Amino acid sequence: MSSEPKNAWFRDHLREWVETTLKEPFNELTDVQRSKLMARFFAEKVLGPRNPTLLPFADEDLDACVVGGKDDCGVDFISREGEVILIIQAKFSGGKKLTKRPHEEAADFEYFRSVLSRLKNFRTLQMSQPLRELAAEIDWDTDKFQLYYITLRQLTSNQQTSLMVEIEPIPDLPDLPDRTELYLLDENKLNVELRDTLSIDRSEAKTSRLLFTDNKGSRPWIRLGTEERTCYVGRISGAQLAVLFQENQSRLFSLNIRNYIGDNATNKAIRQTAVDAADDFFFYNNGISALATRITPDQHDERVLLCERLSIINGAQTIRSLHKAHVISKSATHEVQVLMRVTEFDAKKTAAEQQFLDNVTKYNNTQNAIKVSDFRSNDKVQFDLRKRFDALPSVGGKKFLYKNKRSGERESDRIVIGMEDFVKTLYAFRFGPDDVYGGTGHVFDATQNGGYTKLFGEGGEILPCLSGDCFSLYAGIWFACNQAKDIWRAKLREGKEPALERRWMFFYALGESIRVAYQHLGLDRDAALRSLSNPKWLKEPGTGSTKKVLLRHCKVAIKGLVDAYRESSKDPVFTHRNWFRSQATLTSITEQIRSSWTLLADHGEDYVWNAKPEV
């Protein structure tokens, strides 16, 4: 994809990506197949580089986000990362179809507007199983939604107007529109979005002019710092920031962990304040933080700083909202004042400088736009895990890549292990799903009593690295759970057991089955799990001895889950959702699995990998 951003065409890049990825002629695909791939391309190549936290790490997980089959309920692509649900429906049209029907069908977009209503009622509707699985994990009280309807047809004048239309309301969720962004993009807009994304990677050293607001009796900015670090602080008008974004688009946020997260309630409030209360904006807003490789005061205008490779690291929401406000009222944004801080860094990016960049970006982003797991990505123990997984033997010719940091890049030639997935899997297997303990925040809490410290700490402090035995234990647990996930998913697709909706609860039940078995037989459980850290057993056929033992434990775990759910559901005040969040559920599962072992005692040797006595 070598075309310059200003000359890039969405349709051409889509075709090239499909032919490169699938190794088959684009013209041999049906429009339905092209639409599914168009949704994935838009997610991965347009949205992903601008918002690395929006999509899963691995290619196989991205593949799973594409919804196939007739019962897609108006969804071609769906992913859930953190508390953000991304939903895309794509309409590819070409050739005679586009000539006969050049405009987008109004009914198709209207149907898409009600997609959240269908997902909320997933238990009563005909729906593809992968879509049903993700719908079951949505937290309708807190999750945020980004909805994209993308088409290669033209929009009618009425559809252009409907860009401001919100989703179809859901009566029992009155705040849902404030947590949802709905976008309707035709081919022209898709071209613009693609070019905006491609501009992020352009390498030329552009210089931006920052015009600070004059201060009576003093300079418009102050210079702070040391011999090694220089920082400039001052006020800048909302109009200047709006123009800055207009000139640079998403390239302005190239070093940010996350770009604009949409027109949500907070950003609407920022925009409204800029228009209606410009004088108070400065006092309500936290301001903007930026980095630049060189900062030079302009010799001709003392209000201007010349900044090379300027990048906003905190304030994407403010700037994009001010840009929208600028469209509504230029006079108002001229009156808006925003605190701005620009820090100089070394363009050579030595190891020390990279650490500084990571830290300054991390500590400047404490709002919900950044996932809590991102704040643990620079821990020494995470870099240690990356090295240790890299040293493991390859499987199927592919090496392992432990990805402690998010990025928009994909590694199709590596087996990717995402940090958040890894940590949550370990915690679920050993202690229970994060939902039982209050959510992901607990699992990545590095304080003395936090879940992260329980996994990677000692004496209340986070370790710089794991012992060899500890890494082997954790790697063994990961490989076992990752292999067992396919067994769980196959059972879930039968659609008969609501107890199996959450894989994290299944991982806990699997852990309990293994713990109970080894305790019952008086054998060393951890030694057995450590033996799974060498991934060569993953190459075994399904009838291999290691996989046979795992399958037996999966069956015990599934039975324990189902029996515990059925028993709990007899309670008159039972609620399905709360069952997955209750400590009592963990106790009930353990009791059911222990009961199973009174029946399996005579077959104990069939449930162990390592017969070493416990010490």
If we measure between CA atoms, which residue out of 90, 94, 87 comes closest to residue 117? 87
Q: How far apart are CA 100 and CA 111, in angstroms?
A: 22
Give yes or no for a contact between 527 and 609, defined as CB atoms under 8 angstroms apart.
Answer: no
Look up residue 426 and give its two tokens: 């370990």
Q: How far apart are CA 450 and CA 444, in angstroms?
A: 7
Q: Could you give phi then psi for residue 51, rounded to 5 degrees?
A: -135, 75
Question: What pLDDT digit, counting tens, does each position of 501-540 carry?
Answer: 889 999 999 999 999 999 988 899 999 999 999 999 998 8
Q: Which residues pair with 401 in a beta bridge?
A: 416
Instruction: Provide the percentage of residues in the chain whose pLDDT is more than 70.
Output: 85
Q: How far apart are CA 326 and CA 320, in angstroms?
A: 10
Q: How far apart are CA 592 and CA 562, in angstroms?
A: 9
- With a CB cutoff of 8 Å and minimum separation 6, the contacts of 552 are 606, 607
Per-residue confidence (pLDDT) for residue 411, from 0 to 100: 62
Per-residue confidence (pLDDT) for residue 1, from 0 to 100: 47
Give yes or no for a contact between 233 and 222, defined as CB atoms under 8 angstroms apart.
Answer: yes
Q: What separation in angstroms does the CA of 532 have from each of 131, 425, 447, 527, 608? A: 32, 15, 30, 9, 12
Q: How far apart are CA 375 and CA 464, in angstroms?
A: 16
Q: How far apart are CA 511 and CA 505, in angstroms?
A: 10
Whether the pLDDT of residue 597 is over 90: the answer is no
Task: State the alpha helices, DSSP H only, in 418-502.
Answer: 419-430, 440-443, 451-456, 468-492
The secondary structure of residue 47, as a DSSP letter, is I
Residue 449, classified by CB atoms within 10 Å of its CB into exposed (0-12), middle (13-18) or buried (19+), is exposed
- With a CB cutoff of 8 Å and minimum separation 6, the contacts of 107 are none
Lowest mean pLDDT among 79-83, 244-248, 292-296, 440-444: 79-83
Q: How far apart are CA 597 and CA 553, in angstroms?
A: 11
Q: How far apart are CA 276 and CA 563, in angstroms?
A: 58
Whether the pLDDT of residue 98 is over 70: the answer is no
Q: What is the dihedral of CA 608, 609, 611, 615, to 10 degrees?
A: -90
Give yes or no for a contact between 293 and 204, defined as CB atoms under 8 angstroms apart.
Answer: no
Q: Which domains does the chain have, with CATH numbers?
A: 5-198 (3.40.91), 203-363 (no CATH), 380-607 (no CATH)
Residue with tokens 């879930």, as numbered in its chain: 492
Whether the pLDDT of residue 433 is over 50: the answer is yes
Lowest mean pLDDT among 5-9, 62-66, 316-320, 334-338: 5-9
Q: How far apart are CA 300 and CA 451, in angstroms?
A: 56
Helix axes 419-430, 380-390, angle to 10 degrees: 90
Instruction: Provide the percentage of residues in the chain whose pLDDT is more than 90.
Output: 43
- Look up residue 29 and give its amino acid: L
Q: Which residues pair with 147 in a beta bridge?
A: 87, 182
Residue-averaged pLDDT of the chain: 84
Per-residue confidence (pLDDT) for residue 412, from 0 to 100: 65
**Three-state SS at 610:** coil
Per-residue confidence (pLDDT) for residue 371, from 0 to 100: 60
Give yes or no for a contact between 365 and 257, defined as CB atoms under 8 angstroms apart.
Answer: yes
Q: How far apart are CA 593 and CA 556, in angstroms?
A: 7
What is the CA angle 595-596-597, rounded to 5? 90
Per-residue confidence (pLDDT) for residue 175, from 0 to 100: 87
Q: How far apart are CA 500 and CA 498, in angstroms?
A: 5
Per-residue confidence (pLDDT) for residue 158, from 0 to 100: 57
What is the CA angle 539-545-547, rounded to 5? 60
Phi-psi region of 232 (alpha: psi -120 to 50; beta: other; left: phi over 0): beta
Residue 358: in which H helix or E strand, if any?
helix 351-363
For residue 124, the tally of other CB atoms under 10 A from its CB is 8
Per-residue confidence (pLDDT) for residue 109, from 0 to 100: 87
Longest dimension (CA), the chain: 89
Per-residue confidence (pLDDT) for residue 202, from 0 to 100: 54
Q: Could you give phi then psi for residue 101, rounded to 5 degrees?
A: -130, 75
Q: How far apart are CA 102 and CA 159, in angstroms?
A: 13
Q: How far apart are CA 252 and CA 326, in angstroms?
A: 17
- 370 — pLDDT class (breaks 50, 70, 90): low
Strands 457-458 and 461-462, by their bridges, are: antiparallel
What is the average pLDDT across 368-375? 58
Q: Could you give phi then psi for residue 549, rounded to 5 degrees?
A: -65, -45
- With a CB cutoff of 8 Å and minimum separation 6, the contacts of 137 are 80, 501, 502
Strands 180-185 and 288-292, by their bridges, are: unpaired
Comparison of pLDDT for 407 and 354, the residue scoring more: 354
Q: What separation in angstroms does the CA of 596 have from each of 410, 475, 479? A: 43, 27, 25
- 198 — pLDDT class (breaks 50, 70, 90): confident
The secondary structure of residue 232, as a DSSP letter, is E
- Look up residue 303 and give its amino acid: R
What is the CA angle 154-166-329, rounded to 5? 85
Comparison of pLDDT for 469 and 347, the residue scoring more: 469
Question: What pLDDT digit, counting tens, does each position of 298-314 carry?
Answer: 999 999 999 998 888 88
Q: How far apart are CA 295 and CA 264, in angstroms?
A: 33
Residue 296: in which H helix or E strand, if any?
strand 294-297
What is the average pLDDT across 478-498? 89
- 615 — pLDDT class (breaks 50, 70, 90): low
- With a CB cutoff of 8 Å and minimum separation 6, the contacts of 351 are none
Q: How far apart are CA 167 and CA 291, in angstroms?
A: 37
Residue spans of beta strands (DSSP E) within 131-239: 144-151, 180-185, 207-211, 221-225, 230-237
Give yes or no for a contact between 426 and 474, defined as CB atoms under 8 angstroms apart.
Answer: yes
Comparison of pLDDT for 129 and 402, the residue scoring more: 402
Per-residue confidence (pLDDT) for residue 566, from 0 to 100: 95
